[in-house]
Amino acid sequence: MLSDRRPILLTNARIIDPSRDLDFAGDLLIADGLIRDTKRGIGAAGVPEGTEIVDCRDKIVAPGLVDLRAFVGEPGAEYRETLASASQAAAAGGVTTIVCQPDTNPPIDEPPVVDFVLRRARDTAIVHVHPMAALTKGLKGEEMTELGLLKAAGAVAFTDGAKSVTNAQVIRRALTYARDFDALIVHHTEDPNLVGEGVMNEGEFAARLGLSGVPKAAEVIMLERDVRLAALARDSAPRVEPNVVRAGAQDSKAHQQFGPEVG
């Protein structure tokens, strides 16, 4: 760990920190595991004895990245990946926080599973780990999970991962409960019936390759439905805002109705 090592001076780096609106070429000093100084000319002004100097010319130094959609094998598929190995891979790529998806075995659809993930992350991971909980029980899209209890246990958001919830009533209820618990719902907006066996975007290129395509409408239809359901919740709670990032957002009528907040 950094706290066990001598001071480190990163020189000639492009330093970017959006939280402080910083983007400049300079130096960064790390000592006792903490960033002690960030400015131009630290090396020229003198550094503590024994400092390790690393030339970061043509490299970027920035705050740790956040992976909002990490599919981790633990629990249930530790042979493929664990929270420990996933965190090591994340750290190697500059990611210091991962948000893991609930499609594990068992799925993260009950408070004890949330607690298990948080405890395992605390004991084995080297980056921050935050679990998303399942939006529906067993990720089946039929019955909503206990959003309030899951959030209290430590879930940061609710999703069925790469699965779409086709039952509009379930989504409407989830949005209503999310409103009351100030919770975040992350939904994969894609109609599975239109997707079918598609493996790429529908169009001329897919036809030439002889591959089954997915029409853009598969996303747009589900997106428009969800935005309208969010509007129903917003009518009784102004803080509920549709906020979607999907390829079809710009083409939807919902985007035209509600503006850039859905795209």
Give the residue numbers spanning the domain of 197. 65-262
Closest CA to 236 of 177, 149, 160: 177
In this structure, the answer to whether residues 89 and 41 fall within a common structural domain is: no
In this structure, the answer to whether residues 79 and 53 fall within a common structural domain is: no
In this structure, the answer to whether residues 57 and 124 fall within a common structural domain is: no
In this structure, the answer to whether residues 107 and 90 fall within a common structural domain is: yes
pLDDT value for 238: 42
In this structure, the answer to whether residues 164 and 46 fall within a common structural domain is: no
What is the three-class DSSP state of 53?
strand
CATH number of residue 40's parent domain: 2.30.40.10
Checking if the pLDDT of 255 tops 70, the result is no
- Pick from 50-54, 117-121, 161-165, 236-240: least confident: 236-240
What whole-number distance in Å separates Cα of residue 159 and Cα of residue 131?
10
In this structure, the answer to whether residues 141 and 258 fall within a common structural domain is: yes
pTM (predicted TM-score):
0.80
Q: How many domains does the chain have?
A: 2
DSSP bridge partners of 129: 98
In this structure, the answer to whether residues 77 and 33 fall within a common structural domain is: no
What whole-number distance in Å separates Cα of residue 111 and Cα of residue 177?
17
In this structure, the answer to whether residues 254 and 132 fall within a common structural domain is: yes
CB 84 within 8 A of CB 100: no
Amino acid identity of 115?
D
In this structure, the answer to whether residues 213 and 243 fall within a common structural domain is: yes
